Amino acid sequence: MAHVLQNVVFPLDRDPDLLPLYADPETWSVIEDEPVRVSNRAHLGNILGRHRARIVAGRRVSLGTYFNAFPASYWQHWTSVRDVRLTVHTSGPATILVYRSNSAGVRQRVATREVTGEATTSFDLSLTQYSDGGWIWFDVVADEKHAVLEGAEWTTEQEPVRTGKASLGITTYNKPDYCMETLRALAASPDALEFVDRIFLVDQGTQLVADQDGFDQVAERLGDTLQVIRQPNLGGSGGFARAMLETLRRPESDFVQLLDDDVRLEPESLRRSIVFGQYATTPVLVGGHMFDLLDRPKLHGWAEVVDEAPFMWRNLYQEKMPHDFGVANLRQSPMLHMRMDADYNGWWMCLIPVETVRKVGLSLPAFIKWDDAEFCLRAGDAGYPTVSMPGVALWHVSWVNKDDTIDWQAYFHARNRIVTAILHSDAPRGGRLIIHSRRVDLKHLMMMQYYPVALRARALRDVLAGPDHLRANLETAMPAARALASEFPETLIHRDPSTVLHSRRGRQVYKRLPKNELDSPSGLRLRWFTLSTLAAHWLHKPHPANIRQPEVEFGKDDALWWRLPGFDSALVSAADGSGKNIYTRDRSKYRRMLRESVRLHAELRRRWPELQRQYREALPELVSPASWQQIFEEKA
């Protein structure tokens, strides 16, 4: 029996920006080591359906794309599948060319077939040469007449290791419109639903998905597969923990598939992740990649890792991300042909074996931030690695137009990073994490951003109070953090169009300055800048005129930490462009917060071994099904 590992698909939406992710009907050349598109023949009219596309006479279309190439390296490395069959269905005169790549992205042709009329053509391929990287794909070239690709799939005769389905866990807080789109996409995708046992929609908001127009119709189409659960807002960790707990009660489910709410789903990705999980030699977490929902060819997350020394998350090749497939497609991007191993995957899309949940527990009660990384690290320590799987992805609202390091989420960024390090880092007394954390405080203080420093101090105090606080403030930490903003005027975004805000010196335009004045200071220059700035802010009061009216104005991208400290006050554009914040230097707040930051970080370093013992001993109970069940019952 042939098992379909991957279908060739075309976009659900008639969006020209999506075409480079599915089909590449363009000719490329290389000029000065950079890929350059020299002709563009991408036409939506040639996409005839979910699985069908027209190839215009005399033209060539490559399926060597993100969603339609076969990630051979990952299948060879993580599964025992060694033989796959590519089956291509066509009509009309055409030539089918099959290619492979290696880890360096070098292309090699492996087969060629000419076809006429209605044809089904198969290619038997071996997965034996892809240890470090490589994809397989095919191109279709039309002859003197148009040809049509009627469909294609990658299959194997080998039986999967696991046969259970997946339960989906969608956590939402006041994003009902996004959730409705996800449910509609699932209802319209029988190929994906075939592998789904239950859809647990955990609604934690006040704008309920069940109240949306069209919900009754989509719920009827999904039938018993859909189960809506209402609970108070316990954050992403609380919502996903509920989905994990419910899945543990489903004997038909071998996996729980976590999905964020503000996403657009590619249903074939859902199917692929579950199938890959079924075939993995040992149970693995299968993570999906993240494309930008508002800039859809742009990939923001591939393989993500946690740097041990500063204990900070990042992309494996941070300098190469985001990658814009509208500029350079898969065939023109050698880095994307490597097999990249991840430490964790964001819970915008992540498949977790139920076996893993039974072994290591549920999500840490962290509300948001680092709950996904902590779980994956915990799972990895127990022998369940994370695979960040190419060709498995969705579109998520990115962080381009927001800065959650200076809003209420700064509390969770700081606290959960430190808690995760306490649980999983082997660096003595926190290593560079404590130095890095203290530097973050200094930067905020020098930039006159006192609100995030106050939140970070609260986070450190809670960490020092011990692990019991995680459960105790699960529901209250977020509203408390947001309420604290009222004490800090710089958090107010001025949007009133009737009031034109001006600065005394006008807008600061740095793009015209010499390059050495644009760069962040480093080495001795960095040390001198930091010490002199800290001393100046400690010793000197701001000028009264600069308190009455902002001294300068900065665009968001120009308001960097080594520029703002030279002024007493500044107008700074909000990250989303909706208005302006006013940052004003306050010497008394600065002095008090600087002393507090130094004291708290010193105490954290001193007590690190004690805290490690406390948190690690408490972890099994914190993440246990019984503990989470008690939380849900108390909050019901």
Q: Are residues 150 and 169 in the same domain?
A: no
Which of 156, 181, 207 marks a domain boundary?
156
Residue 298 phi, psi dihedral angles, 5° rounding: -95, 120
Same domain as 151, residue 184? no
What's the distance, Cα to Cα, between the start and end of the chain in Å? 47
100 pLDDT more than 50: yes
pLDDT classification of 511: cutoffs 50, 70, 90: very low
In this structure, the strands spanning 136-142 and 94-101 are: antiparallel
Q: How confident is the model at residue 502 (pLDDT cuts 50, 70, 90)?
A: low
pLDDT of residue 159 exceeding 90: yes
Nearest-angstrom CA–CA distance, 567 and 78: 55
Query: What's the mean pLDDT in 485-498?
Result: 85
Number of compact structural domains in the chain: 3
Which one is predicted more confidently, 314 or 30?
314
Q: Is the peptide bond before 322 cis (omega within 30 degrees of 0)?
A: yes
Instruction: Return d(Cα 394, Cα 577) in angstroms, integer.
Output: 26
Coil, helix or strand for 85? strand
Which residue would you say has higher pLDDT here, 523 or 611?
A: 611
Residues 391, 441 within the same domain: no
Residue numbers annotated as active site: 372
Higher pLDDT, 479 or 526: 479
pLDDT band with cut points at 50, 70 and 90 for residue 555: confident
For the cut 60, the answer to whether the pLDDT of residue 516 exceeds it is no
Q: Identify the domain containing residue 475 by its residue range.
A: 410-589
Residue at 622 is within a domain: no
pLDDT above 90 (res 439): yes
Do 169 and 151 share a structural domain? no
pLDDT for 5: 98
The confidence band for 235, taking pLDDT boundaries of 50, 70 and 90, is very high
- pLDDT band for position 35 (cuts 50, 70, 90): very low
Predicted local distance difference test score (pLDDT) of residue 505: 60
Choosing from 572, 589, 606, the residue where a domain stops is 589
Q: Is residue 335 within 8 Å of residue 134, measured between CB atoms?
A: no
Q: Is residue 414 part of a domain?
A: yes
Please give the average per-residue pLDDT across 316-337, as a whole number: 88
Q: Averaged over 550-574, what is the pLDDT? A: 84
Which H/E stretch holds residue 610? helix 587-622
- Range of lowest pLDDT (176-190, 381-395, 511-525, 579-593): 511-525
Confidence band for 41, pLDDT divided at 50, 70 and 90:
very low
Q: Is the pLDDT of residue 518 over 90?
A: no
257 inside domain: yes
User: What does the pLDDT read at residue 27?
Assistant: 47
In the predicted structure, residue 515 carries a pLDDT above the cut 60: no
Q: What percent of the chain has pLDDT over 90?
A: 74
Cα dihedral 363, 367, 369, 371 in deg (nearest 10): -10
Asked whether residue 471 falls in the same domain as residue 544, the answer is: yes
Identity (one letter) of the amino acid at 234?
L
- In this predicted structure, what is the pLDDT of residue 500? 53
- Confidence class for position 494, pLDDT limits 50, 70, 90: confident
Query: Helix, strand or coil for residue 512?
Result: coil
Average pLDDT over residues 516-523: 65
CB neighbours of residue 198 within 10 Å: 23
Question: Of 139, 156, 173, which one is at a domain's C-terminal end?
Answer: 156
Q: Looking at residue 205, what DSSP letter applies?
A: S
**Cα 110 off chain centre by:** 35
What distance in Å separates the CA atoms of residue 7 and residue 272, rounded to the nearest whole number? 9
Residues 6+ apart with CB under 8 A from 120: 87, 88, 89
Q: Is the pLDDT of residue 139 over 70?
A: yes
- For the record, the structure tokens of 198 come out as 């239950």
| Residues found in the chain | 636
Of residues 509 and 553, more confidently modeled: 553
User: What is the C-alpha separation between 102 and 134, in angstroms, rounded?
Assistant: 4
Model confidence pLDDT, tens digit, residues 369-386: 999 999 999 999 999 999
Question: pLDDT per residue over 161-202, tens digit each?
Answer: 999 999 999 999 999 999 999 999 999 999 999 999 999 999
Residues 419 and 355 in one domain: no
pLDDT of residue 519: 66
Q: Tell me the C-alpha distance between 55 and 45, whole Å.
A: 11
The first and second tokens of residue 203, run together, are 């609604």
What is the mean pLDDT of the segment spanning 514-533?
Answer: 72
Of 181, 136, 146, the C-alpha closest to 48 is: 146
Confidence tier at 464 by pLDDT (50, 70, 90):
very high
Shared domain for 454 and 368, answered yes or no, is no
Q: Is the pLDDT of residue 40 over 90?
A: no
368 inside domain? yes
Tens digit of each residue's pLDDT (9 = 90 or more) over 50-62: 999 999 998 999 9
Encode pLDDT of 7-22 as tens digits.
999 998 888 889 999 9
- Quick check: 218 pLDDT over 50? yes
Residues whose CB is less than 8 angstroms from the CB of residue 194 and which lie 6 or more positions away in sequence, other chains included = 271
pLDDT band at 405 (very low <50, low <70, confident <90, very high): confident
548: nearest Cα among 569, 567, 574, 564: 569
Chain center to CA of 59: 36
483 and 426: one domain?
Answer: yes
Residues 114 and 204 in one domain: no
The verdict on 189 and 294 lying in the same domain is yes
User: How high is the pLDDT of residue 499?
Assistant: 55
Confidence band of 320 (pLDDT split at 50, 70, 90): confident
Which one has a higher pLDDT value, 503 or 38? 503
Residue 398 has pLDDT above 50, yes or no: yes
Residue 328 counted as domain residue: no
Q: Is residue 269 part of a domain?
A: yes
Is 621 within a domain?
Answer: no
Residue 263: closest CA among 170, 192, 390, 375 = 170
Residues 386 and 460 in one domain: no
User: Contact 156/3 with Cβ under 8 angstroms?
Assistant: yes
Strand partners, 202: 171, 229
Statement to judge: residues 460 and 363 lie in one domain: no
Residue 539 in domain: yes
Q: Which structure tokens are listed for 330?
A: 């898969």
Q: Please tell me the predicted confidence (pLDDT) of residue 34.
A: 47
Task: For tokens 């999904």, name the residue.
Answer: 222
Phi, then psi, of 265 in degrees rounded to 5:
-95, 140
How sure is the predictor about 507, in pLDDT bands with cuts at 50, 70 and 90? low
- Give the Cα separation of 316 and 312 in Å (integer): 12
Q: How confident is the model at residue 615 (pLDDT cuts 50, 70, 90)?
A: very high
Domain of 279: which CATH number? 3.90.550.60
